[in-house]
Amino acid sequence: MTLHEKPYGKLTLDELYELLRVRSEVFVVEQNCVYQDMDGDDQDSIHLWLTVGDKVVALARVCPAGTHLDEVSIGRVVTTERGKGYGKQIMLHAIDAAIAHFGATRIDIEAQEYARGFYESVGFRQSSDTFMLDGIPHIRMTWTKA
């Protein structure tokens, strides 16, 4: 397994294509959710992904404060092979990247409500009531540096 971490401007065209393809496959096709994935935040973000061989098995992006949310945030978290721990690994790497690149002491996410337990396992705590986002119940969750 290999971790890749790059700002938008360092992504190759093939890497960008593959990240967007995987995000679309999971969020749009698998979850049957029509929404605007390319939201203008990718250009300011750090992109992380795990590969096994040539296959992307997990990805996430880390957005600086004031882009996607007021605080530093992590989003577009995807695993293509569930139950193997790749999601937890990418989240832990994303937290480290948020600290290293943006000096994060607090990180916010907009989590699909069903995934609350997963995000709690990496240190996030619910910080809002349930709200609808793109037709799916979400909650705001916050990680705070100890």
- In this structure, the dihedral spanned by the alpha carbons of residues 130, 43, 4 and 71, taken in order and rounded to 10 degrees, is -40
pLDDT of 135: 82
- φ, ψ for residue 57 (rounded to 5)? -110, -15
What is the per-residue pLDDT across 39-48, written as a single tens digit (0 to 9) for each? 889 999 999 9
Count CB neighbours of 101 within 10 A. Answer: 15
Contacts for 1 with CB less than 8 Å, ≥ 6 apart: 50, 51, 52, 57, 86, 89
Q: What are the extents of the domains in the chain?
A: 2-104
- In this structure, the dihedral spanned by the alpha carbons of residues 25, 31, 36 and 37, taken in order and rounded to 10 degrees, is -40
Pair of tokens at residue 60: 């996430």
pLDDT of 142: 97
SS3 letters for 53-93?
A: CCEEEEEEEEECCCCCCCCEEEEEEEECCCCCCHHHHHHHH
Regions of the chain with pLDDT less than 50: none
**CA–CA dist 65, 61 (Å, integer):** 13
In CATH terms, the fold of domain 2-104 is Aminopeptidase (3.40.630)
pLDDT of 140: 96
pLDDT of 26: 78
pTM for the complete prediction? 0.92
